[in-house]
Amino acid sequence: MDNLFQFDRLKNIKEITHCYTTRLGGVSKDAFASLNMGFNRGDAYENVIENYQRVTTTLGLSIEQLVLSDQVHKDAVMEINEEHLGMGICRESTIKNIDGMMTNKPGIGLTTFYADCVPLFFYDPIHKAIALSHSGWRGTVKKIGLKTLEAMQRKYKTQAKDVLIGIGPAIGKCCYQVSDDVKKEFDLSFNDDIIGKIVFPSHDDSKKYMLDLKMANQCMFEQAGVKSSNIEVSSLCTSCHEDLFYSHRRMGTSRGSQVAIFALR
């Protein structure tokens, strides 16, 4: 699994399988080289399907078990079950405007897309439930991570103190420069204690700021009662690591996409 990222806390749990893809180990060419997982970027369909086949085989899944999200940078979370299997990859999808998905059904591969935004993995080992949410800056301001946790609490009786959370590779505060209007959105959404940990003056522009999306999500979970020891945060920046990841900030629209996949066995 050298071409796939996994969390140390999750990878040895036999009840689940998961990954966050890199750009390595696929068949796509040119700007999409090589493990592009996005169907809407202009890559050849057969290349993307082959890339999925390679990843799912490694995870012990089939592409028919995947359920692909329809992300719009908002905060809606949807429960997924057997009727959704294959949607977005093997058949037309009825899943619309969804950035977070959850399930307690084994054999369903929740799948979300990334090229700088933050992948959030949730595992409830007590009630055997998982969730996967896509959190860009808009999703982070809207606190989709917290809303995912609350949805699991309502549906599966999940308790924050029991949940294991993985915050995956994403653009880091080293590279994520934002304007004042974005900073103001965070000022309205987070208290001053958190703002001091996630927003910093830009090193090259007095009118810009550097934003730490991963830390924003970590602080949000800790405030919600998730144990700090149960939160694993990737140190990898998708913009810095040109050899490993596609990055919208670095590459623009001519690029591939990573995916996060999460399933109960």
Q: Which residues touch 83 (CB under 8 Å, ≥6 apart)?
A: none
pLDDT per residue over 148-175, tens digit each? 999 999 999 999 999 999 999 999 999 9
Give domain limits for the chain.
Answer: 7-170+238-264
Write down the H helix ranges in the chain. 45-59, 137-141, 144-156, 180-189, 192-198, 213-223, 248-251
Q: What is the mean pLDDT of residues 181-206?
A: 95
Read off the pLDDT band of 205 (50, 70, 90): confident
pLDDT per residue over 70-108, tens digit each? 999 999 999 999 999 999 999 999 999 999 999 999 999
Q: Which fold has domain 7-170+238-264?
A: CNF1/YfiH-like putative cysteine hydrolases (3.60.140)
pLDDT at 183 over 90: yes
Residues of the chain by 3-state class (helix, strand, coil), percent to 5: 30, 25, 45
Count of C-beta atoms within a 10 Å radius of residue 52: 26
Distances (CA, A) of 130 to 85, 158, 263: 16, 10, 7
Proportion of the chain above pLDDT 90, given as a percent: 98
Contact call for residues 37 and 55 (beta carbons, < 8 A) = yes
Candidates 66, 53, 58; CA nearest to 19 is 58
Contact call for residues 114 and 260 (beta carbons, < 8 A) = yes
List b or e across 161-177, with b for residues whose CB sees 16 or more CB atoms inside 10 angstroms: eebbbbbbbbbbbebbb
